[in-house]
Amino acid sequence: MIEQIVTKTDLLTHFKEIGVQEGMILEVHSSLSSFGYVVGGAQTVVDALIEAVGYEGTLLMPMQASNNTEPSSWENPPAKRELFDEIRANMPAYDKKSVDTFHMGAIVDNLRRREGVVISNHPCCAFVAWGKYAKLLCNHQSLHFSLSEESPLARLYELRGHVLLLGVGYDNCTLLHLAEYRSGIRPVILQGSCMLVNDKPQWKKYLDIDLDSGDFTEIGKILENNNIVNKEKVGNCTMLFFKGDVAVDIATKCFENLDVAIYSL
């Protein structure tokens, strides 16, 4: 039995209370199930986000196709070595309109179907954006080092965008990966994905770093200790809101000082 509901009005009220304003550039990570029952589901959440930032604002969400990656790097679950070549040969080429967004949630999937959205072309680390700066954020994502300086994350940092986590933890915050690149703490690896080359599927290799969000939870605690994070609760969902550029700068300093147990401003 449904005993509590979340409405669009509820969402707009709490978005405003946590700090979301019209005209903001906002990277959103979300879990629809974390709210409990939302009247209208993912559509209602996306409608509320669009209304909250307005037509002068911009929404950015990661739309990652984590299966279109080098099978030798898979961990959850891993693949047998003798299957690697067969997986590469049979992986569908990246298509921004039909690609599955593994583990990214219903809210991202709803946004990607909206009129006027822009989707970047990276085969495994794509983003979808809506609003004033959608093209600026998504039109020039590099194949190599996908979340580094030629990525939507770097553009959001430069434009002093914010991050809104809806029912997910700091380990889901894609923007913090930018700090991994800038600090140089991760090894460079050879990655791969299936792409369309001259209208034909082709397995392409490219360079990236060995991304690892395992430290992000501790970085989130540091952000909170420095009063960087605003918190609100709507339904069963805990929302976290903070400035993206400040978070990246702190995370970069944390990674550069990994021998220091606690970093503070």
Q: Which of 193, 124, 133, 202 is nearest to 161 (CA)?
A: 133
Structure-block tokens of residue 229:
């994070």
pLDDT at 56: 96
Distance in angstroms (rounded) separating the CA atoms of residues 199 and 233: 47
Which residue in this structure is represented by tokens 């279109």?
Answer: 68
pLDDT of 262 higher than 60: no
Q: Give residue-wise pLDDT tens across range 118-134.
A: 999 999 999 999 999 99
Q: Give residue-wise pLDDT tens across range 203-250.
A: 999 999 999 999 999 999 999 999 999 999 999 999 999 999 999 999
The answer to whether the beta carbons of residues 141 and 118 sit under 8 Å apart is no
Structure-block tokens of residue 18:
């946590």
pLDDT of 259 higher than 70: no
- Return the sign of the alpha-carbon dihedral for residues 230, 106, 48, 152: positive
Q: Which of 85, 84, 68, 67 is nearest to 76 (CA)?
A: 67
CA distances from residue 193 to 23, 57, 70, 88 in whole angstroms, order as listed: 35, 32, 6, 8
Q: How far apart are the first and last CA of the chain?
A: 47
Q: Give residue-wise pLDDT tens across range 145-200.
A: 999 999 999 999 999 999 999 999 999 999 999 999 999 999 999 999 999 988 89
The neighbour count for residue 6, using CB atoms within 10 Å, is 21
State percent of the chain over pLDDT 70: 97
pLDDT at 3: 86
Distance in angstroms (rounded) separating the CA atoms of residues 250 and 222: 8
Q: Which element (helix H / strand E) includes 142?
A: none
State percent of the chain over pLDDT 90: 84
Distance in angstroms (rounded) separating the CA atoms of residues 46 and 67: 25
Strands 37-38 and 118-119: unpaired
Distance in angstroms (rounded) separating the CA atoms of residues 202 and 94: 10
Task: Give me the residue spans of the domains in the chain.
Answer: 5-66+99-183+215-256
Structure-block tokens of residue 204:
């392409």
Strands (E), the chain: 5-6, 25-30, 37-38, 58-62, 118-119, 127-131, 162-166, 188-197, 200-209, 230-234, 237-243
pLDDT of 95 higher than 90: no
CA distances from residue 56 to 78, 134, 181, 214 in whole angstroms, order as listed: 44, 11, 30, 35
- Identify the burial level of 49 via C-beta atoms within 10 angstroms of its C-beta, where 0-12 means exposed, 13-18 middle and 19 or more buried: buried
| Residue 127, strand partner residues | 62
84 phi-psi bin (left φ>0, alpha ψ -120 to 50, beta other): alpha
Structure-block tokens of residue 213:
């969000």
φ/ψ of residue 251, rounded to 5: -65, -40
pLDDT at 258: 62
